[in-house]
């Protein structure tokens, strides 16, 4: 994950959201029969409202656990900062797992696949299903001895911003990919340190956006949360400007 340069450290709830949205894997904790805790590796994505989306096999132990007891927790860990693992930023989210209704399932599945395009072949298998976990509480640890409890209402983005971006996202993706493909490539190369051209904007939310090229997916965090299409435009223009400046300086050096 990368973000356009800024000078201020984000509030804990914003830092926690960035970490959750950027994660390509997480640890899921469920309750087995008799109350025995059980942990497993999962591949999450997030909906616009920060609901954690999981594509789970019905054959897996954790899926059976959730069907019997929806209480669960998810641990998201960032990159290590030096040799001490305790300095890694991380956030633990607690909530209840549920299957989305049919009216939401297609859109949420597309959101998950945008984050994990390699999973397309098995996403159509009949023994897999989509689950969502709405964060009810979180513990964010920004590093060693830097912990903050965050209520779900403070962690999740505003409902107004989520609704505004949900309505605007299809148009944003279509416009940017059709008319500003060079800017998307510049952001991928200059800010996210990826090679090649043909990058596409595949998802946008209040905290950033996802870019994809084949099975590669990278995350750009906005310098501050946005609340509407205009905010997304400003954030992308700023990111493209910084990216092109970095690429120019690299060529001149």
* 185-220 pLDDT tens trace: 999 999 999 999 999 999 999 999 999 999 999 999
Could you tell me the CATH number of the domain that includes residue 195?
A: 3.20.180.10
Q: Could you tell me the CATH number of the domain that includes residue 117?
A: 2.30.110.10
Angle between the 229-252 and 181-190 helix axes, to the nearest 10 degrees?
A: 60
What percent of the chain lies above the pLDDT cut of 90?
A: 84
Chain mean pLDDT for the chain: 94
Residue 188 corresponds to which tokens in the numbers above? 């991928």
In angstroms, the CA 131 to CA 108 distance is 9
Same domain, yes or no: 139 and 83: yes
Q: Are residues 121 and 194 in the same domain?
A: no
* Residue 246 and residue 174 share a domain: yes
CA distance 41 to 24: 11
Same domain, 13 and 57: yes
Range of the structural domain that residue 220 is part of: 157-253
List own/partner pairs for 75-80 with CB under 8 A and 24 or more apart.
75/26, 75/27, 75/29, 76/19, 76/20, 76/23, 76/26, 76/44, 77/23, 78/19, 78/22
Closest listed residue to residue 48, CA positions, set 128, 108, 117: 108
d(CA 79, CA 94): 21
* 143 membership: H or E segment, kind and range: strand 128-143
Handedness of CA 222, 113, 230, 21 (dihedral sign): negative
Say yes or no: 112 and 201 in one domain.
Answer: no
How many domains does one find in the chain? 2
End position of a domain, from candidates 156, 171, 196: 156
E strand or H helix at 205, and its extent?
A: none
- Residue pair 204/236 in contact by the 8 Å Cβ criterion: no
What's the DSSP call for residue 131?
Answer: E
The C-alpha atoms of residue 138 and residue 150 are separated, in whole angstroms, by 5
Place of tokens 């965050």: 150
Q: What gap in Å lies between CA 218 and CA 2, rounded to an integer?
A: 9
At residue 247, φ and ψ (nearest 5 deg) are -65, -40
pLDDT at 123: 80
Q: Do 163 and 134 lie in a common domain?
A: no
pLDDT tier, 223 (very low <50, low <70, confident <90, very high otherwise): very high
Q: Which of 156, 190, 215 is the last residue of a domain?
A: 156
Q: Do residue 79 and residue 188 come from a single domain? A: no
Q: Tens digit of pLDDT for each residue in 38-90?
A: 999 999 999 999 999 999 999 999 999 999 999 999 999 998 888 888 889 99
What is the per-residue pLDDT for 231?
98
* pLDDT over threshold 60, residue 234: yes
In the chain, % of residues over pLDDT 70: 97
């Amino acid at each position: 994950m990368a973000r356009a340069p800024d000078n201020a450290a984000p509030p804990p709830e914003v830092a926690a959201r960035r970490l959750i949205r950027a994660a390509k894997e997480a640890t899921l904790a469920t309750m087995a029969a008799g109350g025995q805790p059980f942990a497993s590796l999962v591949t999450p994505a997030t909906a616009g409202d920060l609901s954690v989306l999981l594509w789970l096999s019905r054959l897996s132990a954790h899926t059976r656990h959730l069907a019997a007891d929806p209480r669960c927790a998810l641990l998201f860990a960032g990159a290590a900062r030096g040799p001490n693992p305790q300095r890694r930023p991380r956030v633990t989210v607690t909530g209840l797992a549920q299957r989305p209704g049919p009216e939401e399932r297609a859109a949420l599945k597309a959101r998950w696949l945008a984050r994990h395009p390699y999973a397309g072949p098995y996403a159509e298998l009949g023994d897999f299903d989509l689950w969502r976990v709405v964060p009810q509480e979180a513990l964010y640890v920004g590093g060693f001895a830097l912990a903050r409890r965050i209520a779900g209402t403070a962690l999740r983005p505003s409902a107004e911003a989520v609704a505004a971006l949900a309505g605007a996202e299809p148009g944003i993706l279509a416009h940017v990919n059709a008319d500003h493909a060079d800017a998307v490539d510049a952001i991928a190369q200059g800010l996210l340190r990826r090679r090649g051209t043909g990058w596409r904007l595949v998802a946008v939310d209040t905290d950033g956006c996802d870019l994809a090229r084949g099975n590669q997916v990278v995350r750009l965090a906005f310098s501050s949360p946005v609340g509407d299409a205009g905010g997304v435009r400003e954030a992308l223009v700023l990111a493209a400007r910084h990216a092109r400046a970095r690429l120019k300086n690299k060529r001149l050096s």
